[in-house]
């Protein structure tokens, strides 16, 4: 029986399976030991430990100094004059030098974004605050901005740091207000070109359609036009937000039937008076954390989202209140919702790294970033402002093989791009995953199904298939056969589910 | 279930009652499937002979045969159109490109070589290394469309590529061929769809429901675990070749994944079998030839795939481009030539249309590094028995430029509209969002 209300889970029901589910969804899975620690904490403490992650020390805090903010800096005045003069004089040699200098900077910047990709992937894998990174990834998909368009890695870094700082913050005041002041987003949605005399509607439209209200939910085309006027002059200078009064339209605007000399910040306030603002983002959180609903909203989900939306509204848009209520609710742990989400490529990779503990292979992070891209998710490069579609859109026959082969790489060193000469033969100490205790083939299989597949209730035919494999190997449990079991388990259709 | 199936031992089975249907899929695996949601239904229906005629899924227009194939080739990086289709009759061409201009046919004054003439064309020839393409023109199998572009051109590789792939000036939305598949099946995905050769399926093939199959080489379109330990093969197949599982409800997440897995295995078998066949002609070396050889093999094996996608990189020739561009031209001409001969020898000359484009051309004037920078309009190529052969349209002016760039005279979406409507039998307006004047390029 599905529970559709925010009713809290009965404390006595919070067992290892529930703790494992909590860790998979609020983070990226974990080891047997981590799950047993959470189980011992009990429901309330476990949820508090995960949600109040700021109390956990971050061993490698994010530092802006780690990245170069100068690569794509704007031209200085004297450089600008130099170009102007060279153009006037037809001075090809100078123009050529400047052109080459720009190309050099672009190359350096592409290198930096690629390093950032690895840096974030490493954080995702290593963080002691999984929910912080998981929410950062959620916001990256929600307020999607792509490097390819803005070609400024430092702005992407700043946005990433902004999402992390405000991951559990106030949706209205921190996140939405912040994003209309964010240089990367401003450039991505052309708001730096949004001027009084030539308005650009891109940011105003997506602010309502994709970030807060949902398409067609309580606004009109006129509201977009007028909203765009409020955002005129919202631009950036170098790495910071800038408001240009001369480009800002001071006139009276009419939005949602209300008239005033609104600016962009007033526009944000007005949006949050619309009824659909509370449910839109809750649905997105629901699909990300609870169930990706391949057949659309169910009545139970709709009822639950309605209740969570009231919590959201009553709290004045605090994400933390929503996350706490969600992770404590019976509905979140409902059988129907367990293993109901198709893992994103990042979830697949990070969860594998955190649960099977493979050796640190040659160019591990580079290979995994590439693999994630080939599976359809490149960090800092969502396919459009809509972010990643998620759910079944992750899966095609091609990405299915890519997923299986990426896991194979972690376990055996065989590269997912097929270049065998590039393989890394570092041996995986698979046997230690069994926890050092002697196990019968059956125990070993059950153990791996529980801890790696997170699905001890799997069909008997699956368990039999694995036992049959061991039988052909004379029931020997060693590094080779346990690795074999793991490659088979991670190649199961079931493994794609979280 | 207590019956004993006599053929169980020859099978991958663990002895459950899926054995029979699995065998059936593998033997009859007549349909190549790229989209998983509908797979088993289609397979089961076809196995029972009640599947709808193929044509009703693919074409929306009466009278368009259902076995037509479109091959799209992207020359990635921005091919230098002016040194591909050479305006040797223009003085401006030589003025702008003192070290790069290719001489008139027969002349010996340029170290960039002398152009190949195009029958019936005056003052316009081909890059000297495009002998393979020239032969296709002579055979009446290749058309060159000049001055193709779009309004307000964008010079970023990524954005301009996205514009070409979506057919949308905003560079947003689904791919034009993805939308074709979404559209032709009344909202239902065409399970046969498209195959792209490459590590990632291009945007052009992404639809709302349509997902392309893609692989760099057929060896990567499979699970590699058997290579490292072949004792895993039987169990892997047992796990991944099931059409359903007991206790798993239809169209649940797991059911969807189980069916996609089976689909992947069946597709992989068929593709790998198809491309292992010796080609009918000899292909040159190089990445493009390799891709086209695989595509020709899949066409020959009669996979029901309707769109294939190949691409060749290296066209971003900012510096010292003479040699590198000449090598690319050799590869392009010879690969197209071999591919078309293969297709014709197969007897598929009338069934396969190849379209080749680049995201933009290059600047008219050479730059300071004996290369060329990102430009705008460029030629497009259509190849096959159904094209009006030779040089079509007019060459863009080299005198009247827009800030040093060529001004296009034909929108690439006119070509898309022609291919979609006249060749693929689709509603071009529904796919491109607007009606474009057709380009006069097909017989």
Tell me if A482 sits within 8 A of A431, measured CB to CB: yes
Contact A396 B373 (CB under 8 A): no
Tell me if A288 sits within 8 A of A340, measured CB to CB: no
Residue A64's alpha-carbon distances to A57, A111, A137, A160, in angstroms, are 19, 17, 19, 11
pLDDT digits (tens, 9 = 90+) for B86-116: 999 999 999 999 999 999 999 988 889 999 9
pLDDT digits (tens, 9 = 90+) for B339-360: 999 999 999 999 999 999 999 9
CA-based torsion, B103, B107, B112, B116: positive or negative: positive
Find, in chain A, the residue whose alpha carbon is nearest to that of B264.
A397
Best A337, A383, A398, A405 member to test B by mutation, with max B CBs in 10 Å, is A398
Residue A67's alpha-carbon distances to A70, A106, A109, A139, B240, in angstroms, are 9, 15, 10, 21, 44
Nearest neighbour of B215 by CB, restricted to A392, A398, A469: A398
Residue A441's alpha-carbon distances to A444, A475, B60, in angstroms, are 5, 6, 57
Mark residue A218 as left, alpha or beta (left: phi above 0; alpha: psi -120 to 50; beta: remaining).
Answer: left
Q: Using alpha carbons, select from A212, A165, A207 the residue that is nearest to residue A189.
A: A207
Instruction: Give how far A339 is from chain B: nearest CA, Å.
Output: 9
Q: What angle do CA B77, B78, B81 make, to 5 degrees?
A: 150
A256 to chain B, any CB pair closer than 8 A? The answer is: no
* Chain centroid offset of residue A86 CA: 46
CA gap A1, A221 in Å, rounded = 43
Tell me if B116 sits within 8 A of B134, measured CB to CB: yes
Strand B352-358, strand B378-383: pairing = antiparallel
Find, in chain A, the residue whose alpha carbon is nearest to that of B197.
A398
Q: What angle do CA B9, B10, B15 make, to 5 degrees?
A: 45
Nearest neighbour of B172 by CB, restricted to A384, A412, A417: A384
At residue B160 the predicted structure's pLDDT band, cuts being 50, 70 and 90, is: very high
Nearest neighbour of B257 by CB, restricted to A95, A484, A493: A493
Q: In chain B, which residues have their Cβ closer than 8 Å to the Cβ of A474?
A: none
Alpha-helical (H) ranges within B301-392 are: 321-346
Give the CATH number of the domain where residue B185 resides.
3.40.720
ipTM of the complex: 0.95
Domain count for chain B: 1
**Residue pLDDT tens, chain A, 498 long:** 456 679 999 999 999 999 999 999 999 999 999 999 999 999 999 999 999 999 999 988 999 999 999 999 998 999 899 999 998 998 888 988 888 899 899 999 999 999 999 999 999 999 999 999 999 999 999 999 999 889 999 999 999 999 999 999 999 999 999 999 999 999 999 999 999 999 999 999 999 999 999 998 999 999 999 999 999 999 999 999 999 999 999 999 999 999 999 999 999 999 999 999 999 999 999 999 999 999 999 999 999 999 999 999 999 999 999 999 999 999 999 999 999 999 999 999 999 999 998 988 888 999 999 999 999 999 999 988 999 999 999 999 999 999 999 999 999 998 877 666 567 778 889 998 887 777 899 999 999 999 999 987 888 999 999 999 999 999 999 999 999 999 999 999 999 999
* DSSP one-letter code for A171: I
Best A144, A493, A497, A498 member to test B by mutation, with max B CBs in 10 Å, is A493
Domain ranges of chain A: 11-51+296-337, 64-271, 345-422, 430-496
The rounded radius of gyration (Å) of the Cα atoms in chain A is: 25
Q: In chain A, which residues have their Cβ closer than 8 Å to the Cβ of B198?
A: none
Phi, psi (rounded to 5 degrees) for A390:
70, -175
**Token digits for B104?**
């008139």
The pTM assigned to this predicted structure is 0.86
CA gap B252, B263 in Å, rounded = 16
Residue B11 lies in a domain: no
CA gap A490, A453 in Å, rounded = 7
Other residues' Cβ atoms within 10 Å of the Cβ of residue B63: 7
pLDDT at B8 over 90: no
Mean pLDDT, rounded, for B8-35: 28
Instruction: Give how far A169 is from chain B: nearest CA, Å.
Output: 31
Strand partners, A56: none
The rounded radius of gyration (Å) of the Cα atoms in chain B is: 24
Residues spanned by the domain of B143: 54-229+282-432
Find, in chain A, the residue whose alpha carbon is nearest to that of B234.
A469
The fraction of chain B above a pLDDT of 90, given in percent, is: 70
Residue B98 lies in a domain: yes
CA gap A424, A363 in Å, rounded = 9
């Amino acid at each position: 029986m599905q529970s559709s209300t925010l009713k809290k889970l009965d404390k006595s029901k919070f067992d290892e399976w529930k703790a494992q589910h909590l860790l998979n969804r609020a983070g990226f899975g974990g080891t047997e030991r981590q799950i047993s620690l959470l189980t011992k904490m009990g429901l309330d403490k476990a949820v508090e430990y995960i949600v109040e992650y700021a109390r956990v020390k971050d061993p490698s805090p994010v530092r802006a100094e780690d990245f170069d903010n100068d690569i794509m800096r704007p031209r200085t005045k004297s450089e600008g004059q130099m170009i102007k003069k060279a153009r006037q004089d037809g001075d090809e040699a100078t123009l050529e030098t400047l052109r080459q200098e720009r190309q050099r900077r672009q190359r350096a910047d592409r290198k930096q974004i690629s390093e950032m990709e690895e840096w974030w992937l490493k954080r995702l894998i290593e963080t002691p605050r999984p929910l912080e990174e998981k929410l950062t990834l959620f916001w990256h998909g929600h307020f999607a901005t792509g490097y390819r368009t803005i070609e400024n890695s430092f702005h992407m870094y700043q946005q990433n740091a902004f999402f992390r700082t405000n991951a559990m913050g106030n949706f209205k005041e921190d996140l939405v207000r912040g994003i209309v002041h964010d240089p990367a987003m401003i450039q991505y949605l052309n708001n730096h070109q949004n001027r009084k005399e030539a308005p650009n509607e891109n940011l105003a439209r997506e602010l309502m359609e994709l970030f807060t209200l949902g398409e067609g939910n309580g606004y009109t085309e006129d509201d977009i036009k007028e909203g765009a006027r409020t955002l005129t002059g919202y631009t950036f200078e170098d790495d910071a937000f800038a408001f240009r009064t001369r480009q800002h339209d001071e006139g009276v605007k009419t939005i949602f039937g209300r008239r005033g000399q609104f600016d962009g910040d007033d526009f944000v306030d007005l949006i949050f008076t619309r009824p659909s603002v509370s449910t839109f983002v809750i649905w997105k959180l629901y699909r990300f954390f609870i169930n990706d609903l391949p057949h659309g909203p169910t009545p139970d989900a709709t009822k639950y989202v309605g209740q969570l939306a009231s919590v959201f509204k009553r709290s004045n848009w605090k994400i933390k209140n929503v996350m706490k209520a969600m992770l404590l609710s019976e509905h979140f742990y409902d059988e129907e919702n367990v293993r109901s989400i198709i893992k994103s490529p990042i979830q697949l990779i990070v969860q594998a790294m955190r649960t099977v503990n493979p050796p640190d292979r040659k160019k591990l992070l580079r290979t995994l970033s590439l693999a994630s891209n080939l599976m359809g998710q490149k960090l800092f490069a969502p396919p459009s402002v809509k972010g990643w579609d998620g759910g079944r859109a992750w899966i095609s026959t091609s990405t299915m093989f890519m997923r299986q082969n990426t896991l194979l790489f972690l376990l055996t060193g065989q590269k997912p791009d097929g270049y065998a000469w590039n393989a890394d033969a570092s041996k995986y100490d698979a046997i230690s995953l069994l926890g050092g205790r002697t196990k019968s083939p059956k125990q070993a299989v059950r153990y791996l199904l529980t801890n790696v597949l997170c699905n001890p209730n799997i069909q008997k035919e699956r368990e039999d298939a694995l036992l049959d494999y061991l039988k052909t190997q004379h029931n020997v449990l060693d590094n080779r056969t346990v690795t074999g079991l793991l490659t088979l388990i991670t190649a199961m259709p079931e493994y794609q589910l979280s | 279930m207590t019956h004993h199936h006599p053929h169980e031992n020859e099978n991958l089975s663990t002895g459950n009652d899926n054995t029979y249907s699995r065998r059936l899929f593998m033997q009859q695996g007549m349909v190549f499937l790229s989209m998983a949601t509908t797979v088993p239904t289609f397979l089961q229906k076809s196995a029972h002979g009640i599947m709808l005629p193929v044509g009703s899924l693919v074409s929306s227009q009466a009278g368009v045969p259902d076995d037509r194939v479109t091959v799209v080739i992207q020359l990635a990086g921005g091919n230098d159109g002016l040194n591909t289709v050479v305006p040797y009759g223009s003085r401006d061409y030589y003025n702008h490109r003192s070290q790069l201009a290719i001489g008139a046919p027969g002349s010996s004054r340029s170290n960039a070589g002398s152009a190949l003439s195009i029958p019936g064309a005056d003052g316009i020839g081909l890059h000297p290394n495009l002998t393979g393409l020239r032969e296709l023109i002579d055979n009446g199998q290749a058309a060159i469309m000049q001055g193709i572009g779009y309004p307000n051109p964008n010079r970023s590789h990524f954005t301009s590529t996205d514009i070409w792939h979506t057919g949308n000036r905003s560079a947003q939305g689904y791919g034009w061929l993805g939308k074709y598949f979404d559209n032709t099946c009344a909202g239902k995905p065409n399970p046969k769809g498209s195959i792209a050769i490459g590590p990632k399926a291009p945007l052009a093939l992404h639809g709302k429901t349509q997902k392309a199959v893609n692989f760099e080489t057929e060896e990567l379109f499979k699970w590699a675990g058997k290579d490292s330990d072949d004792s895993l093969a039987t169990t892997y197949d047992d796990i991944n070749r099931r059409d359903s599982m007991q206790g798993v409800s239809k169209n649940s997440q797991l059911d969807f994944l189980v069916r996609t897995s089976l689909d992947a295995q069946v597709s992989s078998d068929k593709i790998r079998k198809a491309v292992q066949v010796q080609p009918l002609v000899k292909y040159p070396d190089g990445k493009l030839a390799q891709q086209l050889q695989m595509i020709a093999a899949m066409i020959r094996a009669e996979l029901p795939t309707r769109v294939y996608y190949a691409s060749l990189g290296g066209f971003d020739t900012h510096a010292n481009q003479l040699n590198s561009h000449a090598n690319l031209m050799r590869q392009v001409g010879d690969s197209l030539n071999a591919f078309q001969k293969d297709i014709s020898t197969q007897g598929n000359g009338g069934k396969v249309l190849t379209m080749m484009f680049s995201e933009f051309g290059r600047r008219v004037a050479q730059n300071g590094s004996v290369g060329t920078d990102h430009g705008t309009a460029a030629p497009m190529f259509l190849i096959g028995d159904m094209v009006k052969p030779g040089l079509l349209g007019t060459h863009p002016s080299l005198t009247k430029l827009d800030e040093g760039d060529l001004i296009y005279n034909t929108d690439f979406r006119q070509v898309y509209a022609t291919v979609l409507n006249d060749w693929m039998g689709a509603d071009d307006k529904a796919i491109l969002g607007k009606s474009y004047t057709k380009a006069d390029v097909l017989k």
